[in-house]
Structure 1
Amino acid sequence: MLLRLAYLGVTNAFAMLRLLSMSDREREVEILALRHQIAVLERQLGKKRVRFAPSDRAFLAALVHRLPRDVLRRVRRLVRPDTVLRWHRDLLARRHAAKSRPRLPGRPRTVHSIRALVLRLTRENPSWGYRRVHGELLVLGVKVAASTVWEILKEAGIDPAPERSSAFLRSQADALLACDFFETVTLSGVRLYVFAVIEHANRRVRILGATAHPSATWVVQVAKNLVMDLEDAGCRARFMIRDRDGKFPELFDSILKDAGIEVVLSGVRMPRMNSIMERWVQTCRRELLDRTLIWNQRHLLHALREFERFYNRHRPHQGIANARPLQPLPAAITDPGQIARLGIRRRERLGGILHEYQHAA
């Protein structure tokens, strides 16, 4: 466009020089001839519009913008005066934008290998949101901002998942446990009940068993096993959040009370009072149970044990800054050469239902 504009300026400068040697009568005759040619062109075009190149618009706007509006309306033209004035405003706006553009470059573009890895993780795990992908990158030692993952997914036309948080529960996390029953059905139609406990402080999950008949004796034994596990792990919880399910006998609360853990009942039909446990149940269903055909109780326990190990040792969690419940995040990779050549290997669990990503040896 700049080259074209310079060419128009030079040719019209020579045309001005030619006009200096012409008499007033000759100039008036040429103006009348040009006006007649414009009229003929308008008749031939009819309702069609004349297409001006950007350089033509800029030159015409710079040429006539100083003319008063009433004079401009009397000039024979192919466009309206308001259009010419709009061209001039656009020319000034582009000139101002070019001068206002910062001289220093902004944040460098994300390395291609990282972008490819983000899209690969999202493609292989459609249920992951941008926070889940960001956590997996931190586990691999790839330090990028969560907003960068968001932008990569947005550019690829992938809608990132919303962020969820609970400030109050985080502030009280060190003293809180939560438990719940959830059910699943085998291929033969048998309904099995699973009992799980989660620690609010580090999001560690304990799956304590599954049964088709959650009797009071079975639940009491589960409570005893839980107390022993907590003592072995050195967990100093003070409160246990549970719902008002009739499967919990009074002896369940008594065993926990003897261990120094007070049972806190959630409100009636208020699952948000036990939101972290409910959230984990949703995660277990979405990432495991909804994608697995359970044959029997033994198969269910095997799948749940694998998911428990995956969740506690590998899967990053948003509520604890994308660390893993039993393992902290590794040091971020700072070597640009290593960042540019990311060799990531996928390890499959349960036949490919769960994916773990590690650096290739």
Structure 2
Amino acid sequence: MTITRSFFLTLFKLSIKLVSEMMKSNKNEVNQQLILENISLRAQLAHALDQLEKSKSVKRNVTPEFKLISVFLMTLDERLNSVMTLFRPETVIRWQRELFAKHHAKRSVKKGRPCINQDTINLILKIHNDNPLWSPEKIHEQFKRLNIRPTPSPNTIAKYLPKNRKPPSEWQRQSYMTFLKNHSKDIWAADFFSVPTLTFHTLYVLVIIHHHSRQIKHIAVTTNPTAEWTVQQFRNATPYGEIPVYLIHDNDSIFRSKLFQRFLTSSGIKSKRTAIKSPWQNPYAERVIGTIKREVTDFIIPFHANHLDRLLQEYVHEYYNTHRTHQGINGQTPIPSPEYPMTDAEQTILKKKPVLNGLYYTYSKSS
């Protein structure tokens, strides 16, 4: 008997039905966990039987259906780690990212004019190398004069010409970094990053950080970032006139919008836009986004915006700002910690508090 993909899909639909019934019923938590464990073990058994029947094949792959049901179950209850013995939690999270990438690739199929063939591209590059001063319009006119088909438009030709953008000089880099260092107490930085959900939707996270203290002033999650929403988040981040002198941001259309720029001007904040494709000009925002990804979002699969927002708020306010030390501020925390009296190791009693269901722990001295 061959384990077909329809069996896994049936098992997945059954799990969704059971979960929905659990939400409506008044069954206790123990019974709910037993149901989920049963579904998980059945899926693993089906996968093991499927691999046993395919043992003669050279390469054995995990079926997409098994990946889907594993991702779904692991997201519902982290305690299923103990019964998911075939694969580690990191593997299940990697599966979710792969499934999201495939889903996004299908939705991101380019529409419009077909791409020009490689022979036409080679001809464009040849003409450009022979005449480097010619503009895309001039090359387009040569194609028309010589009656070469297909004749690409000037905008299409410009896409394939090498960019002559000069990199910043060492003096320019030093000058900009000196500005950041001298005005760090008056600078905030902002940027967006995205996180995929269990159902393959995209959530957008706004992060605002203070340069000098490394404190995350505000973090928020949305499914549809707009200029109006971003302005409201900055109002929430600047109560009682607590505003920076400078705000560093990239060339995102939201930050460049008239509404957002008017808000900065009326609030007395000077906008400092980074150059195109120059993430080094916004180093603190880029670094903190990398930190959040490595320490939080790489370990979770959020259901929706509220779920992710709750986790990030807990991480920022219960761990990052208050207990996580930073080398850039001499091993201190963004919000200064209380000063504890000096004690020997044998006399020290620590109290620990879990953060994000035990992903991290914070410590304080017991009196």
Q: TM-score, normalised by structure 1?
A: 0.49
Larger Rg computed on CA atoms: 1
Q: TM-score, normalised by structure 2?
A: 0.48
